């Protein structure tokens, strides 16, 4: 058995193409949707993530506003600097890029700046509470994208046993709730779970979101399971790279050229050989996160502008 690839890039493009006519209607009748992104400091990963989000906005015709306060700013200074954004009615969605520098109280910033009506990330108390109750509100982008991926590949969810490894408020918890609302039987696993391999091996749908490179190995995967790898871990150790990608000449060549390579939370060869479907890293879940951010922005704009 060798699993079929769940192509996140293709599904992301489908979702964005479906947004274009909706954006055109908004722009013609009212104005273009608008997304504000706050990035504090010069974290390299954050710079890449924000750059990709801004590019997606430009490609779709969504107005983007980027705020880049200095990295040593205090919480009170940041709140003061962002106060005009909080009251700017021309902005539909507000996103505070995480992580913030250590000296900043992230909860204080998000609670003050990102009101419930413009919580484009879907991380706020109102959005998460609405998810629990299965009521309309922006959904966390990565879990919402994974659900779209499963549905558009016509993978059955109702009645299946789904195991989510990871309990973060960004991926694990909302992912479990979204699957529950689709009538899956859901198990949430975490660092204190006894016999994690045994729990994972019961999964028809396995979602790995633990942030540990290749931690899910062959002994964790039931043959024929659908495996969704949310992890994005950069590895630089040559021996580890050779052990993980001995079967993949292209990835070894990329490592030789760049000095690093990305791997998910699932051991690549095991995932490919044991699953019925799987998400590659990169190119699986990542593109869907940005697509759903764009979708949330458009939906919020439609609601706020009455279109």
Q: How far apart are CA 153 and CA 33, in angstroms?
A: 29
Q: Is 47 a catalytic residue?
A: no
Task: Identify the active-site residue in 92, 121, 229, 265.
Answer: 121
Residue pointed to by tokens 């779970």: 193
Residues across the chain: 307
What are the structure tokens assigned to 20, written together? 């274009």
Task: Identify the active-site residue in 7, 53, 222, 265.
Answer: 53
Q: Is 53 a catalytic residue?
A: yes
- For residue 148, give Cα distances in angstroms to 15, 101, 113, 144, 265: 9, 33, 29, 6, 21
Q: Coil, strand, or helix at residue 34?
A: strand
The 10 Å CB-count burial string (b at 16+, else e) for 67-104 is bebeeebebeebbeebeebeeeeebbbbbbbeebbeeb
- For residue 13, give Cα distances in angstroms to 16, 142, 177, 295: 5, 15, 25, 12
Q: Is 97 a catalytic residue?
A: yes
Q: Cis bond leading into 282, ω under 30°?
A: yes
Task: Identify the active-site residue in 16, 92, 97, 229.
Answer: 97
- Work out the end-to-end distance of the chain between its first and last CA atoms, rounded to an integer number of angstroms: 48
Q: Annotated catalytic sites, by residue?
A: 53, 97, 121
């Amino acid at each position: 058995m060798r699993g079929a690839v769940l192509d996140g890039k293709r599904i992301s493009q489908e979702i964005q193409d479906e947004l274009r006519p909706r954006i055109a209607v908004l722009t013609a009748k009212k104005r273009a949707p608008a997304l504000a992104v706050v990035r504090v400091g010069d974290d390299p990963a954050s710079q890449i993530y924000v750059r990709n989000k801004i590019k997606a906005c430009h490609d779709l015709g969504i107005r983007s506003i980027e705020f880049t306060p200095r990295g040593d700013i205090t919480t009170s200074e940041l709140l003061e600097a962002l106060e005009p954004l909080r009251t700017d009615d021309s902005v539909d969605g507000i996103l505070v890029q995480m992580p913030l520098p250590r000296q900043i109280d992230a909860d204080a910033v998000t609670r003050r700046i990102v009101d419930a009506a413009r919580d484009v990330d879907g991380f706020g108390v109102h959005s998460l509470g609405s998810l629990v109750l299965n009521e309309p509100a922006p959904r966390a982008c990565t879990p919402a994208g994974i659900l779209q991926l499963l549905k558009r590949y016509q993978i059955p969810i109702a009645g299946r046993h789904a195991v989510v490894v990871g309990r973060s408020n960004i991926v694990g918890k909302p992912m479990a709730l979204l699957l529950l609302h689709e009538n899956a039987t859901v198990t949430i696993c975490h660092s204190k779970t006894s016999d994690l391999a045994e729990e994972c091996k019961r999964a028809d749908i396995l979602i790995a979101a633990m942030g540990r490179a290749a931690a899910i190995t062959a002994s964790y995967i039931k043959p024929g399971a659908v495996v969704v790898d949310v992890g994005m871990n950069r590895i630089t150790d040559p021996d580890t790279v050779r052990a993980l990608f001995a079967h993949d000449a292209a990835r070894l060549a990329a490592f030789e050229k760049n000095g690093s390579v990305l791997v998910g939370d699932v051991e690549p060869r095991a995932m490919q050989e044991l699953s019925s479907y799987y998400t590659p890293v990169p190119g699986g879940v990542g593109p869907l996160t940005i697509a759903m951010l764009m979708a949330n922005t458009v939906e919020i704009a439609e609601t706020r502008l009455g279109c």
